[in-house]
Amino acid sequence: MRETVTVDLPGRAYEVRIGPGLIRHAGAEIAPLLKRPRVAIITDETVAALHLGTLRDGLAAAGVASDALSLPPGEATKSWGPLEQCVDWLLEAQVERGDVVVAFGGGVIGDLVGFAAAILRRGVRFVQIPTSLLAQVDSSVGGKTGINAAQGKNLIGAFHQPSLVLADTEVLGTLTPRDFLAGYGEVVKYGLLGDAEFFGWLERQGPALAAGDQAARIEAVHRSVQMKADIVTRDETEQGDRALLNLGHTFGHALEAATGYSDRLLHGEGVAVGCALAFELSARMGLCSQEDPSRVRAHLKDMGMKTDLTDIPGDLPGPDALMDLMAQDKKVVQGQLRFILARGIGEAFITSDVPRDMVRRVLADGLEV
């Protein structure tokens, strides 16, 4: 079973192939892109221990030689030091302008390696092989690459589209349930932002999907990637519609910052809690019905996910401090914070017209202060 989505950007169109066994057959998938039969793989130590042997064997089976660099796992790897290490290693490995670099891992590796490929010799091609659900449905598609700065996340980077994405749904079986569900937060986001029917399907299929149903996993990744591809094709550099993909992220990023980007709250968990808050705010502003936030929360709870601010372990700062963190978001335009709100499930829109008091009230009520 295999699905393919095309990201149809003029002159840079590429396929996202979704299904089981793509890593084992990576050689056959990637070989047609190559000018000479060799690739440079950058991964992290966790993914390397589980899957690097399979990938290299899969490449070798099609006569493709590979070099590999493994970096420490975790968000700290998305920074200047590891970027320099990647670029130096790629130069040492004599990766040429016509070669292909493979980013093999979750969102951290995809963003870092994509950026290294963007700046190496003024740009070499790269293939994304995302190994987390979050990376398969979001970060590996659409060409956002980069690293974090001391001043905030993702502040240094470039748009650099991959030449191919191989989303092997079999590897999702090696994720911890927590990591899987964090990625599922981004899947729910797609239903909430633009497809009520998909959200209904997730309400019905979510438990089977989390339990390991392959067909349901493929369908969920396929539908998510198709929505992302459509949005990216319309608005590659986020002048408009692409910001819809940030549903739940304005609240989510503030919560991630408040918890020190630690294990207390994973990115996808922050997005899920953020989506629930965005619907609550939308309902209070009279934009959607009161049933909508209840339905969002009920599904997250059904899936055993963090849903409310009180589900985040440890103390959180008060509503004013959270509002200050939101104001540092990089989506601030001319001092105005942009929110993604909703007129209903599947009907998100972008607005700067949000009363401060109302945001504060939603946070204060959620924090039970």
Contact residues for ligand GLY (CB under 6 A)? Answer: 138, 142, 144, 242, 245
The yes-or-no answer on residue 160 being catalytic is no
The residues pairing with 159 across neighbouring beta strands, listed in sequence order, are 144
The yes-or-no answer on residue 267 being catalytic is yes
By Cβ distance, which residue is nearest to ligand GLY?
245
Side-chain half-sphere exposure of 201, counting CA atoms within 13 A = 17
Compare residues 138 and 292 and give the one whose CB is closer to ligand GLY: 138
119: helix, strand or coil = helix
Distance CA 350, CA 230 (A): 17
Compare residues 56 and 144 and give the one whose CB is closer to ligand GLY: 144
Catalytic residue (one of 125, 144, 153, 299): 144
Catalytic residue (one of 38, 56, 125, 249): 249
The yes-or-no answer on residue 154 being catalytic is no
Closest separation in Å from C-beta 329 to ligand GLY:
13
Closest separation in Å from C-beta 246 to ligand GLY:
6
Closest separation in Å from C-beta 369 to ligand GLY:
31
The residues pairing with 145 across neighbouring beta strands, listed in sequence order, are 158
What is the four-CA torsion angle of 24, 29, 33, 39, rounded to 10 degrees?
0
The yes-or-no answer on residue 297 being catalytic is no
The yes-or-no answer on residue 186 being catalytic is yes
Quick one: tokens of 128?
């994304």
Extended beta strands in 224-338, E state: none
Closest separation in Å from C-beta 325 to ligand GLY:
19
The yes-or-no answer on residue 246 being catalytic is yes
Compare residues 38 and 261 and give the one whose CB is closer to ligand GLY: 261
Compare residues 142 and 293 and give the one whose CB is closer to ligand GLY: 142
Closest separation in Å from C-beta 141 to ligand GLY:
7
Distance CA 81, CA 149 (A): 11
Compare residues 252 and 366 and give the one whose CB is closer to ligand GLY: 252
Distance CA 273, CA 297 (A): 9
Catalytic residue (one of 246, 269, 280, 297): 246
The yes-or-no answer on residue 144 being catalytic is yes
Closest CA to 277 of 161, 173, 360, 202: 360
204: helix, strand or coil = helix
Closest separation in Å from C-beta 19 to ligand GLY:
22
The yes-or-no answer on residue 331 being catalytic is no
Residue 155's alpha-carbon distances to 7, 22, 77, 78, 150, in angstroms, are 25, 32, 15, 11, 9
Catalytic residue (one of 25, 148, 186, 280): 186
The yes-or-no answer on residue 238 being catalytic is yes
Closest separation in Å from C-beta 231 to ligand GLY:
8
Compare residues 142 and 366 and give the one whose CB is closer to ligand GLY: 142
Compare residues 129 and 245 and give the one whose CB is closer to ligand GLY: 245
The yes-or-no answer on residue 222 being catalytic is no
Closest CA to 143 of 250, 7, 26, 333: 7
Residue pair 18/167 in contact (Cβ under 8 Å)? The answer is yes
What is the per-residue DSSP string for 80-91?
Answer: HHHHHHHHHHHH
131: helix, strand or coil = coil
Neighbours of 151 (CB within 10 A): 9
Residues carrying an active site annotation: 122, 144, 186, 228, 238, 242, 246, 249, 253, 267
